[in-house]
Chains A and B, each alone.
Chain A
Amino acid sequence: MARVSEIAAKVRSKNAGPFWLTIDIFCGSAEAFDRLRGALGDDRVARALGCAPAALKRFDIAELSVIKFSLPRPQVQGSIRDRDMHGASFANLVAELEIEDA
């Protein structure tokens, strides 16, 4: 077992406007990209982020070895229940997912 953060070069998250959150997994190599693409199913990522799988947008970009997820923000940015104004911490939920050995 290894965490996504141990396989990928970088995982970051950020607001894409006040109503969307976007998470970029920079895999760093074609090999890591293939491994993570296979292991990170939509259901699993959606569950980690607390959103419905149907609400998750996914982009597997082989040329950049990047997997990108976008989702409606769990709480609108800056609303009373929001805890993270810039959405920067959500990346950790994906970075800390455990991946089975290849």
Chain B
Amino acid sequence: MVRILIPSGALTAGVAARPDLIAIDGGSTDSGPHYLGTGTSKYARSSTKAEWRALMAARARAGVPLVIGTAGTCGADAAVDWMVEITREIAAETGEQLKLAVLKSGQSAESVATALEADRIRPLPPERPITPDLIRACTNIVALAGAEQVGAALATGADIVICGRTTDTAIISALPLMRGCHAGAAWHGAKIGECGALCTTNPQTGVIQIDFDGEGFTVTPMAETARATPHTVSAHMLYENSDPFILHEPGGHLDVTGARYAALDDRRVRVTGSRWVPSDRYTVKLEGARVAGHQSVTLALLRDPRYVANAAQWADDLARRCTAKARARLGRDDFTIELRLIGLNATLGALETARTAPCEIGVLAIATAPTEALAREAARMLNPYLLHHPLTEQEELPTFAFPFSPAEMHRGRIHEFCLHHVMELDDPMQAFRLEVFDIG
């Protein structure tokens, strides 16, 4: 049996249960393209350090490896380096001597372009365009490591494994797979456990434990106030998953169509019948982000009831006039000016069906252009319109509320996700780099 502890909260009870490994997911694409684009973490360094220090202390008490996947939110090499630096600082402060394995997932544009040329890159649905130029335009490309690469890092005997981008599940499935547990159970249990106690009745309690064996897996929440039930466990397959029965991973896919979920008692669930289906080719998913432009944003507020009632018409007219003026004065049209009306349909745009009358409207005016200077110029041209644009030509100039001076907020360089593909490998380690250090 292999016991994996998946924390996101107090760890005392979990450590007492003698796990074989502590695994934590350090990121995802969910916070958007900025983090991969820049190779940075979205979390405060001090928070990351405090939480990682607690995990390192739990690891020392348990005497087992600690693995983090997708370190630094995006798992790019620079974010991994940042996490390694934090780890070194903590080790220096606590006086621990540790063996550290670092798995890097960053891909050079040239290697990905070469794979494209060799017909070793395939699109995933919905299909997105890919060209060598697009690949070279990415500021960061990562490949999602699977159980093989995480397993190679664990096999070094490291105390701590810091991984770049991995699938959410691979950091949990790797050890049970290495030890010969049921492959379908290893991946299925990993998916159920990836978000800690989210698969229980009390998601905020954080820590869960999963025991893997030759036939299935068992989910046990660590907090006394949390219960795992067949419903909470099976429902977690829905979470962030476009298909609740199939999960694609490097080297194959998990099929849970035939899985059986049984309550062992009122808080533990036993799962059997999950199936792992190996693929003919070994592929890893790619993620890439590139610069999409520069942005300056202005927030103005409409409170005059007549302007609130006619805000959409006012905003359309304003955007049209300001865009025309900016095109004429800048002598180009490779920028956009977009107004979103907060209180009307800023969240859902044209899909909004609710028609509730608000008392005020926030006008989020977004200027996007190829350079920072142009984005700032376009935003400054918006300024007088946002302050004084009248609904009709025969009225005194109105004045609207600006919450800030300067009114423009410069967002700098913005990024976009641009790869939705898998890359075929001859050897799972081919696209990854594993380094081992002694620290402390």
Assembled-state Cα–Cα distance A80/B370 (Å): 12
Q: Given contacts A18-B33, A64-B231, are A80 and B348 in contact (CB under 8 A)? A: no
When distances are taken between beta carbons in the complex, the residues of chain B under 8 Å from A93 are 348, 351, 353
When distances are taken between beta carbons in the complex, the residues of chain B under 8 Å from A83 are 340, 346-349
Q: Is A70 an interface residue (CB 8 A)?
A: yes
Residue-by-residue, is B355-381 near A (CB-CB < 8 Å gives 1, otherwise 0)? 000000000000010000000000000
Assembled-state Cα–Cα distance A22/B243 (Å): 9
B29 touches A16 (CB 8 A): no
B241 touches A85 (CB 8 A): no
B234 touches A64 (CB 8 A): yes
Interface bracket on B: 35 or more
A77 touches B33 (CB 8 A): yes
In the complex, which of the residues B34, B238, B346 contacts A66, with contact meaning CB atoms closer than 8 Å?
Answer: B238
In the complex, which of the residues B29, B32, B351, B416 contacts A48, with contact meaning CB atoms closer than 8 Å?
Answer: B351
A92 touches B348 (CB 8 A): yes
When distances are taken between beta carbons in the complex, the residues of chain B under 8 Å from A68 are 238, 244
**Which residues of B, 318-365, contact A by the 8 Å Cβ criterion?**
336, 338, 340, 346-351, 353-354
**Which residues of A, 10-29, contact B by the 8 Å Cβ criterion?**
14-20, 22, 24, 26
Q: Is B240 an interface residue (CB 8 A)?
A: yes
B238 touches A22 (CB 8 A): yes
Q: Is B293 an interface residue (CB 8 A)?
A: yes
B414 touches A80 (CB 8 A): yes
When distances are taken between beta carbons in the complex, the residues of chain B under 8 Å from A84 are 347-348
Assembled-state Cα–Cα distance A18/B241 (Å): 12
Q: Is B306 an interface residue (CB 8 A)?
A: no
Q: Given contacts A64-B235, A80-B292, A83-B346, are A49 and B417 in contact (CB under 8 A)? A: no
When distances are taken between beta carbons in the complex, the residues of chain A under 8 Å from B32 are 77-78, 85
Q: Given contacts A22-B238, A77-B29, A78-B415, are A70 and B243 in contact (CB under 8 A)? A: yes
**Which of B241, B336, B350, B354 has the most chain A CB within a 10 Å cutoff?**
B241
A90 touches B244 (CB 8 A): no
B242 touches A22 (CB 8 A): yes
Q: How many residues of A are counted as interface, with CB atoms below 8 angstroms from the partner's CB atoms? A: 39
When distances are taken between beta carbons in the complex, the residues of chain A under 8 Å from B416 are 76, 78-80
A78 touches B240 (CB 8 A): no
Q: Is A63 an interface residue (CB 8 A)?
A: yes
B351 touches A78 (CB 8 A): no
**Which of B351, B353, B354 has the most chain A CB within a 10 Å cutoff?**
B351
In the complex, which of the residues A57, A72, A85 contacts B243, with contact meaning CB atoms closer than 8 Å?
Answer: A57
**Which residues of B, 395-420, contact A by the 8 Å Cβ criterion?**
414-417, 420
Residue of B nearest to A26 (CB): B235
**Which residues of A, 37-73, contact B by the 8 Å Cβ criterion?**
48-50, 55, 57, 59, 61, 63-64, 66, 68, 70, 72
Q: Is A86 an interface residue (CB 8 A)?
A: yes
Q: Is B30 an interface residue (CB 8 A)?
A: yes
Residue of B nearest to A90 (CB): B348
**Which of A66, A72, A79 has the most chain B CB within a 10 Å cutoff?**
A79
Q: Given contacts A66-B235, A86-B30, are A78 and B417 in contact (CB under 8 A)? A: yes
**Which of B29, B34, B350 has the most chain A CB within a 10 Å cutoff?**
B29
The 8 closest A-B pairs by CB, nearest first: A78-B32, A70-B242, A72-B126, A16-B242, A78-B33, A18-B417, A20-B242, A89-B347
Q: Kindly list 14 other residue pairs between chains A and B, CB separation below 8 angstroms, not including A19-B124, A59-B245, A77-B33.
A: A16-B241, A19-B128, A20-B126, A24-B238, A26-B235, A64-B235, A70-B242, A70-B243, A72-B126, A78-B416, A80-B293, A80-B414, A80-B416, A85-B32
10 pairs, A vs B, C-beta closer than 8 Å: A14-B240, A17-B242, A17-B420, A26-B235, A50-B350, A59-B244, A64-B234, A78-B417, A79-B292, A83-B348
Question: Which residues of A pack against B, CB within 8 Å?
Answer: 14-20, 22, 24, 26, 48-50, 55, 57, 59, 61, 63-64, 66, 68, 70, 72, 74, 76-81, 83-86, 89-90, 92-93, 96
